Amino acid sequence: MVELLAVILTLLSGLIAFVYLLKYVNKNQQDFPHKLPPGSMGWPFSGETLGFLKSHKSNSLGSFLKEHCSRYGKVFKSHLFGSPTIVSCDFEFNMYILQNEGELFPVDYPKVMHNILGKFSVLLSKGDLHRKLRSTIISFVSATKYETKFLHSMEILVLSTINSWDPNSKQVAFYKEAKRARKRLAAIIKNIILGRQKSSNARPVQGGDLLNMILSKQNLSVEEMVSIVLDLLFGGYETTAKLLSLIVYFLGGASNALQRLKEEHQEIRKRKKEGEPLNWDDYKQMEFTQKVIYEAMRCGNVVKFLHRKAVQDVKFKDYVIPAGWKVLPVLSAGHLDPTLFENPLEFDPFRWNDNSIRKKVAPFGGGPRLCPGADLAKVETAFFLHHFVLNYRYFTHCTTHLHILTCMHRLW
């Protein structure tokens, strides 16, 4: 009797699953008022998310995008992150999405990111709140990037970081631990802010004091102040650290570029007194360094895609992007497009001798959400490269998939 009941329950469960599958397939094959881009919606619940997120080399599109672009074209439909989605690997359409972020394609990041970054994150916020938070960050960047004292502090930080690299440092890899870390950091920052407020120490930024500048903004709540500091910590650390790693990796296989980079920084050092810190004028002389930075971002794609959502039907060529659908502009697709770049998978900073190249990339995003810390990130990276190429040498071990840093030591 028990066995018979188990068989009946199994058959019933299978029938329910089959009926649901038929409804899912029928739902995604229904006729829309307008023509959708071609594509596949994948499996129920998960859609094609697992295939989309499958790991691949940073200077490649990966098997998922290659196969889908080959089969459906550069703009196709899918089901990703729990939502029906339009994926764009078309550079022209991606730029249109970025330029119309507020009116047509607002941000639409998964809930998990809201839980970690908080509701006042500049990355996740929209409308007036986003403009208020972003303007605060831009005010800080504009007020400090020329300051000698601030730049010297950044150079000291670069040197201390290089000298203290620890291969055994702890890494946080789990969602719950990341949420706890965010909560602890927020509490620490909030206490510091409240302490500053009680001591009436709020004044316009002087000497690169970020908190003083934030506290001088009377229209910010404590929670918004905390979120701005956390955004700068998270965004300024992860993306810059990834960029530095990519540059070291790419330079390991580009001896001509590495030699040209050394020559540029040797010329800068010759013009300075011993022990004299770098300044803004030195940074402006690092022209080839800028080309290395942009080429590493083009090849390595620190940010591969963005999360957006269509708030109204949008016509693109012969198709219509339905209102309410998630839209993913894949920035890396444009950066690695052979119709835009010759030998796109090759790391070649010299290609940036052609000034028109800048119009074909969007490493810092675009439109009203252009990265507010882009200038500081480039300064920090340039200062790192100055000390790295002049004071250290390293060797790479080539495997089938990557170069591994096997030895690095000072030149004196």
pLDDT in tens, 369-401: 888 888 888 999 999 999 999 988 776 665 544
CATH of segment(s) 30-112+302-335 = 3.30.43.20
- Alpha-helix runs per DSSP H in 164-317: 175-198, 210-215, 222-251, 255-270, 280-284, 287-300
Strand partners, 39: 77
Residues 266/387, Cβ–Cβ less than 8 Å: no
CA–CA separation, 382 and 379 (whole Å): 5
**Rounded to whole angstroms, what are the CA distances from 290 to 58, 195, 238, 285, 287?**
20, 40, 20, 10, 5
Q: What pLDDT shows up at residue 81?
A: 92
Q: What is the pLDDT of residue 148?
A: 78
Name the binding residues for heme.
371
Torsional sign, CA 63, 66, 70, 74: positive
pLDDT at 34: 65
Bridge partners of residue 115, in order along the sequence: none
Distance of CA 394 to the CA centre of its chain: 27
pLDDT value of position 233: 79
Q: Which two tokens stand for residue 115?
A: 């839980």
- pTM (2 d.p.): 0.80
Mean pLDDT, 10 residues at a time, the chain of 412 residues? 55 52 46 78 86 88 94 95 94 93 89 83 88 85 75 83 62 64 84 79 52 77 86 81 91 93 96 90 96 95 92 91 95 93 94 90 85 88 93 66 48 47
Q: What per-residue confidence (pLDDT) applies to 393? A: 77
Q: Report the pLDDT value the prediction gives residue 328, as an integer from 0 to 100.
A: 96
Residue-level pLDDT at 166: 52
Q: Residue 92: exposed, middle, or buried by beta-carbon count in 10 A (0-12, 13-18, 19+)?
A: exposed
Q: Tell me the per-residue pLDDT of 289-334, one tens digit each, with 9 for 90 and over.
A: 999 999 999 999 888 999 999 999 999 888 999 999 999 999 999 9
Query: Which residues carry a binding-site annotation?
Result: 371
Query: Residue 204: its pLDDT value, please?
Result: 46
